[in-house]
Amino acid sequence: MISFHGGKYVYQVLEGEEREKILNNIKNFLSLEISKRKACDIELICNGAFSPLDHFMNKDEIMDVAFNLNLNGILWSIPIMLPVNKDIFEKAQEKDKIILKHENVPLALLEIEDKFTLNENEKEKIAEAVYKTTSLDHPGVKEFMSESSYYLSGKVYLLNRPKREEGIKDFYYLDPKNTRREFEKRGWKRIVAFQTRNPIHRAHEYITKCALEIVDGLFIHPLVGHTKKDDIPASVRMKCYEVLIENYYNKKRVFLSVLPAAMHYAGPREALHHMIMRKNYGATHMIIGRDHAGVGSFYGTYEAQEFVKKYIDKLEIEPLFFEHAFYCKKCEGMATTKTCPHPERDRVILSGTKVRAMLRQGIKPPKEFTREEVAGILIEWARSVS
């Protein structure tokens, strides 16, 4: 089995008497209500998905990650930070313990190691380094720049799991130790992970099946944490994965689970971040496709692939690069620009924007773009929200 990133597995989930003692004395602690994004970060620190990271970063670590992709000598690409309000910042002292809550549910215990501020100039420099832009049109930048400039760092210990997405079965939420156990049970040694925040369609099906030809198993691991408001809901996406696996994949060679992570839309940087997490979940390979983790026109079509290539030696998990796939009417099948000689007029290529517009009008996307069963699920959802 592939080693955890940095060679260390972090598991900071409190159970039994230790957990009950804290919950029974919760009134004795300062408490802080946090965002859904930070609730996602807490779970991934504590369940080992962010291994070897076991804490919210301090200022020096944030700067080193942002400008050098370095976390205490280990490759890391996205700063993991905890913004707090001014009142908590002023009250909190080093070595204090704070209860972190989301929707008034106590999620975790934070042991404060440091507190610090980031001024607007520092935040803009971090945004430029991580997102390659300071534009507030970028959803990741907008959220980062709008959050508090007061921060706490320190180890965090999980008390309760964040609230699950409605419509997604609990058994899909697995920690890295659980997915690794499942892969061992199946006898898989070479596992390819597939990341998506969008409904799965024919192009995704094509590249995942191509990748599956050279490994033992396919790990479909959709991101279901905090995303943009206009992204299709995670529960709808999960129905699409389920129906596609049921009807068009060899189920013995596919494993579906979910990643309760927040999207940063950081393109190249986030491609690395996604690979590190999937490595911790036990994958040996990962598909990096067109505009991985991108948004709008902020990144080049294959910029994430070029970026990842620079760090392959430090990753251990191996990227599999795919070009944009499409259905070619002349080839009468799925293809990419590497394999298809025909002009664009023979290719069925639909943007996400165009597909959403079709769904709103009650028009099924063509079978060359998505399977009929998937289109049916999407149409039903679109009608329910129109």
Contact (CB, 8 A) for 333 and 327 = yes
Beta bridge partners of 32: 100
CA dihedral (186, 192, 194, 195) positive or negative: positive
Active site residue 85: no
Of the candidates 70, 160, 178, 198, the residue annotated as catalytic is 198
**Which residues contact residue 336 at a Cβ distance below 8 angstroms, ignoring those fewer than 6 apart?**
322, 323, 324, 325, 326
CA atoms of 127 and 108, how far apart (whole Å): 27
CA atoms of 360 and 363, how far apart (whole Å): 7
Of the candidates 47, 58, 180, 197, the residue annotated as catalytic is 197
The amino acid at residue 318 is E
Measured CA angle at 305 (ends 309, 340), to 5 deg: 125
Contact (CB, 8 A) for 86 and 137 = no
Active site residue 356: no
**Which residues contact residue 307 at a Cβ distance below 8 angstroms, ignoring those fewer than 6 apart?**
267, 268, 269, 271, 272
Judged by phi (left if over 0) then psi (alpha if -120 to 50, else beta), residue 265 lies in left
Q: Which residues are catalytic?
A: 197-198
